[in-house]
Amino acid sequence: DTQMTQSPSSVSASVGDRVTITCRASEGISTWLAWYQQKPGKAPNLLIYSTSRLQSGVPSRFSGSGSGTEFTLTISSLQPDDFATYYCQQANSFPWTFGQGTKVELK
């Protein structure tokens, strides 16, 4: 299985901050990476797929980059609605696997 490792596990930030989350794959996954946002008690919400493609309806302050084994999710200016846990998911090879999550908390 392809292992996905996210860093940091948590980040404290303020509204307006730029936040970057990293996801590393244990083997190359080309650009087959997705990001999800999950709020407490809710289902995950797809933000980005194929590394950098924004899902319909997702604000443009979210962006993704990377290829191979290292990927980033960037929130350019953190908004109150963005405090949540973020997961990466590799879609390159079966079985599809998720990272352990990064919690974005209020500083």
Is residue 61 within a helix (H) or strand (E), and if so which, with residue range? none
Considering only 19, 21, 66, 89, the residue that binds other proteins (CB under 8 A) is 89
> Can you say how many angstroms the Cα of residue 37 is from the centroid of all Cα atoms in its chain?
7
Least separation in angstroms between CB 80 and other proteins = 23
Interface residues for other proteins in 54-83 (CB under 8 A)? 55
Q: Which is nearer to other proteins, 15 or 59 (CB)?
A: 59
Can you tell me whether residue 106 is helix, strand or coil? strand
Least separation in angstroms between CB 98 and other proteins = 4
Q: Which is nearer to other proteins, 17 or 54 (CB)?
A: 54
Which tokens in the block code for residue 66?
């990377």
Q: Where are the beta strands (DSSP E) in the chain?
A: 4-7, 10-13, 19-25, 33-38, 45-49, 53-54, 62-67, 70-75, 85-90, 97-98, 102-106
Which is it for the CA torsion 69, 77, 14, 38, positive or negative? Answer: negative
Based on the shown chain and the rule CB under 8 A, indicate whether residue 45 belongs to the binding site for other proteins.
yes
Q: Which is nearer to other proteins, 19 or 34 (CB)?
A: 34
- Site residues for other proteins per CB under 8 A: 1, 32, 34, 36, 42-46, 49-50, 55, 87, 89, 91-92, 94-101
